[in-house]
Structure 1
Amino acid sequence: MLDRLIINNFKAWRSLDIEFGAVTGLFGTNSSGKSSVLQFLLLLKQTKNATDRGLVLDFGGPEQFVNLGSFSDAVHLHRITEQLEWKVRWKLQKEISIANPSGKRTDILFSGSTISASSIARMKDRSLVSDRLEYSFGGYKFRIEPKKEGATEFDLTAESKEPKQPFHFVRNKARAWALPGPVKTHLFPDQAKTYFQNSDFLGVLESEYETMMDSIYYLGPLRAPPRREYPWSGASPSDVGLRGERAVEALLAATVRGETRNLGGRTHYKPFQEMIAYWLKELGLIHSFRIEEIGSGANLYRAIVQRDVKGPEALLTDVGFGVSQVLPALVLLHYVPSGSTVLMEQPEIHLHPAVQSGLADVILTVARVRKLQVIVESHSEHMLRRFQRRVAEERYSADSLKLYFCDTVDGVATLDNLELNMFGEIGNWPESFFGDEMTEISETRKAVLRRKTSARTS
């Protein structure tokens, strides 16, 4: 689970330091940097996924998570002389321990349940390079960086500021060659594991980083339109697609596997498809929902809904757009493995205010029951108000909910931590957060009064 992200010089952010909760809400004005927080995490994810190990950062393309152009486009104020810096910290699902290769099998070198990784990217001789990588774990920092500024030879070091057992990397005398720099922005060079006798554990840290990145899933703000027919060959997609285009495939895959979900507590488990239908009904969008094959062996399926208890059944294409808009969000939240991190960008688009509030309940419920982390970028006042209400009702802990307001000052993004107390109250409500509601009401009343007065005197 993501714990903290620090970024310097990315898009509108001169500097960003954000802590995440089990549910995190990013609110704010247009072009205020909200989406950039998600984009940076996706940049790291697609860089990890890149097959080209020589690629420092994968800024993406049309079919990838994000398409950021180039370093010049992504760096703050397009200042290519600046370096992009970041640090990401995450919590492991369980504590890990690393044994001492020089001691007994029971000797533990390091142990912990939190890891952080930090790196940089900068332009050097018209090429993008990353020449510093550091992992922090168990009270120690393991770093690779140039021996001196501008050098092409690197040092691998370990340090601890606390009074812990000292640790030093032991050089293999038969491997006296120079050490190269980091690979991508999260990997130590292979030579780091072969030139040193006690460095194999670095691979564990790299593996945990990649596992964390693999556990991040994303749903974009624009949904694929519903289809009259959905082909499915029996494959299990990894997610629902960037635009939710694979939501029906994921739903069918989970159904065939016999997966079940529940609402927590003593509630009964429901088949996967029934759980999705339950939420669609709970949100007030439909009375019933099911996926059925058009004909035996056809590998073509239809999504059928019944809007009202006495109304006729219809295809998903023939009912309001809200159902097809929210369906991918519901499927993704229930489909991803327990413990995953789900990034959702404006999931409220095309949804009625009451459904937006209900979607907030879905997010809170699934995060709690399935141990998910959900990070939502939104403009919805109704979702925010529902988050507050559930805290006030003691149905969700304020400590597990992080809410932020993003804004820009002179083109630089700013972040305000909304101080949510145990009663669901926000102590530092930003000015004109969702517009000036009281002014709108006041001016409307004044206009009505003027018109009524004018009508009496005419």
Structure 2
Amino acid sequence: MIDQLHLQNLKAWRDSGPVQLARVTMLLGSNSSGKSTLLQSLLLLKQTVASPDRTIHLNLGGDEANDYFHFGGFDAVLARGAAAPRQFSIALSFDRPESERVRHGRFACSYGQTTSGAVAIQALELSTVARRFRAVRRERGAYAIYVDDEPRPRGKGPQLAPERSIALPAEALALLGSDGTHLQDLSLALRRELEGIVYLGPLRRRPERDYVWNKTAPGEVGSDGHKAIDALLANALLPSEHQGSVLRSVSHWLQRMGMAEQLSVRAVGRSGRYELLVHHDGVVANLRDVGVGVSQVLPVLAVAYCAPPGSTVLLEEPEIHLHPLAQAVLAEVFAEVSQQRQVQFLVETHSEHLFRRMQTLIARRQTSTAQCRMLFVERRGADAVLVPLDVDEFGAVRNWPQHFFGDAMGEAREQARARAQRLREVTGG
């Protein structure tokens, strides 16, 4: 689980400060406030780790087939008006299961621009509770390698340049001797944490009438959810001890949302094609023929049950196209699945219904403020500012930003005033 994130000079974030994350973290705020950048910073590292070029320092994207996000050039990422030196940084800490060789780790990296325009690491720090390793850029692309608080570097040279932001090359590991093994374990733990990030964006693909299934289970549902149905087909059709479990779980939540009683899979002819059927109010219909809300929430529910335990799921606007009750039930999905399956959710949302239900779950002790954090992002001038919401054990918010969800009491007062005025006009009073 990623338990802390810190951005500096990255897009709208001059300095986010240490952002504490929980098993479920909800990001709220107005449009273009900077919420998405918090998620995108993790995707930036994930797509860097996945790059086929191990010598790359930071993959800003551009490959539509493989990258999650295209960040543009260095200047598009650097915060406007950033003072010299022109650098931005990303730091995070993570906590792995007890079975891992490295349970706790921290990553911090600052990036600058070379004279050729390329992004280059200026300083990389990888640490655990016991050890600390640093790679610091010197002149002409050389890097000095430091261990713990040693005043002198273990070595220096261009051959020691970091790889994919999270690791040092074989030459550096050999230079470090027995310490190199510890560093290698740390880099591997960080790599697994980043590879375990699953992203579902706000724009989900419309469903097809039927699907060709190649008898395999997809690794991810895709950032637009286009492989969600493949995942459901695989769970329904592949023989295993968990066969049908995901389909049943998704059906359960659709029933709670009042959108369907059951999902089922049916073969279409003998061509290896299948359709997903939605059972609701005694009617069985193809997914394509039901309301768009069902197809839009399916990837959200599928990723909740298909993401491997230990994953971090990034969700943007999971409530899109859902009616109020369904939006509220999403809070129950995140709270329950995060505890049962040990999956972390970072959720960017504008839904008052989702937020209010999470407050209710805290009041009912179905989750807690330790398990769920509410973060509000606002703009102050050109800068994004993070305001952690102070939620008590009864779900009440002590420092709620004024009028973010509108002024419900004010609307009620205005309706009463208008009603009284109209009654006076009718009665002539």
How far apart in 2 are the matches of 1:258 and 1:142?
46
Task: Report the residue type matching 1:295 in the other structure.
Answer: G
Indicate if the aligned counterparts of 2:26 and 2:346 stay in contact, CA closer than 8 A: yes
Residues 152/52 of structure 1: CA separation in 2 closer, same or farther (3 Å cut): closer
* Greater Cα radius of gyration, structure 1 or 2: 1
How far apart in 2 are the matches of 1:155 and 1:177?
7
Matched, 1:357 2:328: yes
Residue in 2 aligned with 1:159?
148
Residue in 1 aligned with 2:86?
82
Match of 1:345 among 294, 302, 316: 316
Matched, 1:275 2:249: yes
How far apart in 1 are the matches of 2:261 and 2:21?
36
Matched, 1:10 2:14: no
Indicate if the aligned counterparts of 2:23 and 2:338 stay in contact, CA closer than 8 A: yes
Match of 2:278 among 280, 301, 305: 305
Indicate if the aligned counterparts of 1:46 and 1:58 stay in contact, CA closer than 8 A: yes
Indicate if the aligned counterparts of 1:170 and 1:197 stay in contact, CA closer than 8 A: no
How many aligned positions are there? 423
Indicate if the aligned counterparts of 1:258 and 1:272 stay in contact, CA closer than 8 A: no
Task: Report the residue type matching 2:160 in the other structure.
Answer: P
**Alpha-carbon shift at residue 151 of structure 1 (Å):** 5.5
Residue in 1 aligned with 2:168?
188
Match of 1:401 among 358, 372, 384: 372
Per-residue Cα deviation, 1:5-37 (whole angstroms, up to 9, x for no partner): 111011111111211101000001111111111
Indicate if the aligned counterparts of 1:223 and 1:245 stay in contact, CA closer than 8 A: yes
Deviates more, 1:12-21 or 1:348-357: 12-21
How far apart in 2 are the matches of 1:177 and 1:402?
44
CA RMSD of aligned residues (A): 2.3
How far apart in 1 are the matches of 2:241 and 2:257?
20
Alignment of 1:347-386 (within 5 A): 347-386=318-357
Task: Report the residue type matching 2:86 in the other structure.
Answer: E
Residue in 2 aligned with 1:329?
300
Residue in 2 aligned with 1:120?
110
Residues 377/259 of structure 1: CA separation in 2 closer, same or farther (3 Å cut): farther
Matched, 1:220 2:201: yes
How far apart in 2 are the matches of 1:371 and 1:128?
35
Normalised by the length of structure 2, the TM-score is: 0.93
Normalised by the length of structure 1, the TM-score is: 0.87
How far apart in 2 are the matches of 1:76 and 1:57?
17
**Alpha-carbon shift at residue 121 of structure 1 (Å):** 1.0
Indicate if the aligned counterparts of 2:123 and 2:134 stay in contact, CA closer than 8 A: yes
Residues 275/409 of structure 1: CA separation in 2 closer, same or farther (3 Å cut): same
How far apart in 2 are the matches of 1:55 and 1:142?
19
Per-residue Cα deviation, 1:293-333 (whole angstroms, up to 9, x for no partner): 1124x221111112203xx3111111111110111111110
Residues 293/447 of structure 1: CA separation in 2 closer, same or farther (3 Å cut): same
Secondary structure of the corresponding residue to residue 76 of structure 1? coil
**Alpha-carbon shift at residue 178 of structure 1 (Å):** 6.5
Alignment of 1:233-312 (within 5 A): 233-258=214-239, 271-296=245-270, 298-309=271-282, 312=283
Residue in 2 aligned with 1:205?
186
Matched, 1:58 2:38: no
Per-residue Cα deviation, 1:377-404 (whole angstroms, up to 9, x for no partner): 0000111111110110111122111110
Indicate if the aligned counterparts of 1:81 and 1:123 stay in contact, CA closer than 8 A: no
How far apart in 2 are the matches of 1:219 and 1:435?
28
How far apart in 2 are the matches of 1:248 and 1:95?
33
Indicate if the aligned counterparts of 2:144 and 2:157 stay in contact, CA closer than 8 A: no
Residues 375/178 of structure 1: CA separation in 2 closer, same or farther (3 Å cut): closer
Residues 258/34 of structure 1: CA separation in 2 closer, same or farther (3 Å cut): farther
How far apart in 2 are the matches of 1:142 and 1:321?
50
Matched, 1:423 2:394: yes
Secondary structure of the corresponding residue to residue 233 of structure 1? coil
Secondary structure of the corresponding residue to residue 390 of structure 1? helix
Gaps of 5+ in 2: none
Gaps of 5+ in 1: 98-111, 161-165, 262-268
* Identity across the alignment (%): 32
Matched, 1:68 2:75: no
How far apart in 2 are the matches of 1:376 and 1:152?
39
Residue in 2 aligned with 1:105?
none
Matched, 1:411 2:353: no
Residues 249/95 of structure 1: CA separation in 2 closer, same or farther (3 Å cut): closer
How far apart in 2 are the matches of 1:36 and 1:186?
20
Match of 1:131 among 92, 115, 122: 122
Secondary structure of the corresponding residue to residue 289 of structure 1? strand
Per-residue Cα deviation, 1:224-248 (whole angstroms, up to 9, x for no partner): 1121111111122111111111111
Indicate if the aligned counterparts of 2:221 and 2:303 stay in contact, CA closer than 8 A: yes
Deviates more, 1:212-221 or 1:189-198: 189-198
Secondary structure of the corresponding residue to residue 144 of structure 1? strand
Task: Report the residue type matching 1:92 in the other structure.
Answer: R
Residues 177/212 of structure 1: CA separation in 2 closer, same or farther (3 Å cut): closer
